[in-house]
Amino acid sequence: MSTHPTSTLLSGACVLTMDPTSGAEPVRRDILIKGDRIEAVEPSISPERANEVVDLTDRLVMPGLVNAHLHSWEALFKGRYDNLPLELWMLFAYPILGLSAPSRRLIELRSLLVAIESLRNGVTCIVDDVIEMPDQTTEALDAVFRAYEAAGIRANVSGNVLDRPIVDSLPFAADVLPPELLARGRSQPHSSPEDYLAFSEDALARWHGHEGRLRYVIAPSGPQRCTDDLLVAAEALSRRHDTTYHIHVLETKTQAVTGHELYGKTLVAHLDDIGVLSERATLAHAVWVTDDDIERLARAGSSVAHNAISNQKLGAGIAPFRKLRDAGVNLALGTDGVCSNDTPRMFDVMKAAGLLHKVTSPDHTMWPSAPEVLHAATVAGARSAHLADEVGSLEPGKKADLLVLRLDGPNFTPLNNVANQLVYCEDGSSIEQVMVNGRVVVDGGRLTTIDEDEVLAELRAHAPEFLERHAEVERINAVFMPHVDAIHARCASRPLGINRYSGDESTWLAGAETARA
């Protein structure tokens, strides 16, 4: 394929359309691409309709993967932390004290690294919930967008915001933290609802819809970190601009306890009661949801971004995949941050999701199927990103975001079941080409849009100074460790009565008792 075709015919490929008719069942199809969109997907298309014809008889073509929840900030910390639950891990990955803003160039390089890893592994669309520390500025957001513009990826980039001090988002903080630490935590600057709305309106004007593949996302951090005024105002802004409302909800048991401490109800019930759940809303994680929470999400038409690897690494728990999906909640997949995963590779997440939920119930009829996992990584991800009419499946009128994979390599030899082998055998190494918006952005395993070697070399040159400075920030914030650890243990031992599958809460409570002993 040429990198800028006017019209291209992909001929004779084995195709996973992921459309309502064929789904994840492989079919032999021709695909005609004109400009940035798919014009036709048919058993046979005349070569005369295209400027260029590519024979893909021995190839698999499928929609590009959608990463429904990602934090690019963490790319600088990949492999840095282990054996820390989320609230302790955040003290170092998202520290409260002592931070200084990274340079705009470092932000751009960091984002390019995420784009390189994502595109090379078949992710054509990302929802990057950018949390810029200590504060997000227009210049910092521009650096992220510029990187994704250059790399050629489809990117939905947030302005993540909180308007409560982080220490006040933790239950029992006023009882457990020493007064001087509590005061230091509360003294850190944070945005007001008015500041965030002005920032977002500017970002929407500058970047939303740019090049037909860059979008701005409204992203209040979480109901425990944001006031109701901010949550409601942000939702109204997302409705006014018909864009995504992306929010972290119930990732950990500590957050489940927080809901009852702050609001006397679950965090999902609180969001529903203040009117911010809708079809635009995507809840990242939703691990500790109740049956009532799931009913509320389904009724509102909201999505959940399931982060199977990150939730394991941080010991957060296991989201109720089957209950969510069977209730009609749109269930997408995400990698989460690049140091709680520790990569943005979606094939890893697909395999983890396919396997993880097989150990939550002995009833094998309830286990996820490979087609369900593929649906979550494509169609459901597109809906979560508010792009259901644009990407996620190979259908006429949709954007030409697709992958070409070799079927003659080890991952598909022998060829038994395409869907199963994509979920359980594929690791990205079979990818031959990646197309976004009708443009080939990966060819032969390397990006065509930027010089990967130059980016990586420059990032390696910048990294030592930044990481040395961050090590001092980690030292400063370690003072919170014993106190937040006590909060974590206190929450872990509190019964909540959530019964999503056999053994869940009893396992947590037993672990908490063992830790205390």
- Average pLDDT of every residue of the chain: 94
Give the DSSP H or E segment for 222: none
Please tell me the predicted confidence (pLDDT) of residue 435: 98
The reported pTM is 0.95
The percent of residues in the chain predicted with pLDDT above 90, rounded, is 92
The token duo for 136 is: 């997000």
Please tell me the predicted confidence (pLDDT) of residue 20: 97
What are 347-400's pLDDT values in tens digits?
999 999 999 999 999 999 999 999 999 999 999 999 999 999 999 999 999 999
- CA 19: distance to chain centroid? 22
Provide mean pLDDT across the span 432-458. 98
Short-list 236, 292, 235, CA closest to 269: 292
Please tell me the predicted confidence (pLDDT) of residue 499: 56
β partners of residue 330? 303
- Return d(Cα 7, Cα 51) in angstroms, integer: 5
Which CATH number covers residue 378?
A: 3.20.20.140
Please tell me the predicted confidence (pLDDT) of residue 511: 45
Q: How confident is the model at residue 32 (pLDDT cuts 50, 70, 90)?
A: very high
The token duo for 49 is: 């309709």
- Return d(Cα 382, Cα 399) in angstroms, integer: 12
Provide mean pLDDT across the span 198-211. 96
pLDDT at 506 over 50: no
By DSSP bridging, strand 330-333 and strand 245-249 are unpaired
Provide mean pLDDT across the span 448-461. 98
Please tell me the predicted confidence (pLDDT) of residue 73: 94
The token duo for 180 is: 């001087």
Q: How confident is the model at residue 6 (pLDDT cuts 50, 70, 90)?
A: confident
What are 43-56's pLDDT values in tens digits?
999 999 999 999 99
By DSSP bridging, strand 214-220 and strand 439-443 are unpaired
Q: How confident is the model at residue 496 (pLDDT cuts 50, 70, 90)?
A: confident
Provide mean pLDDT across the span 101-106. 95
Which H, E and C letters describe 355-411, residue by residue? HHCCCCCCCHHHCCCHHHHHHHHCHHHHHHCCCCCCCCCCCCCCECCEEEEECCCHH
Please tell me the predicted confidence (pLDDT) of residue 166: 94
The token duo for 327 is: 């209730």
Total of domains in the chain:
1
Amino acid, res. 141: L
What range does the domain containing 149 cover? 1-517
What are 225-267's pLDDT values in tens digits?
999 999 999 999 999 999 999 999 999 999 999 999 999 999 9
- CA 136: distance to chain centroid? 19
Q: How confident is the model at residue 293 (pLDDT cuts 50, 70, 90)?
A: very high
pLDDT at 152 over 90: yes
pLDDT at 404 over 50: yes
By DSSP bridging, strand 446-447 and strand 59-63 are unpaired
Provide mean pLDDT across the span 4-24. 92
β partners of residue 13? 29
pLDDT at 15 over 90: yes
Q: How confident is the model at residue 5 (pLDDT cuts 50, 70, 90)?
A: low
Say how many C-beta atoms besides its own lie within 10 A of residue 348's C-beta.
18
- Angle at which helices 193-207 and 138-151 pack, to 10 degrees? 30
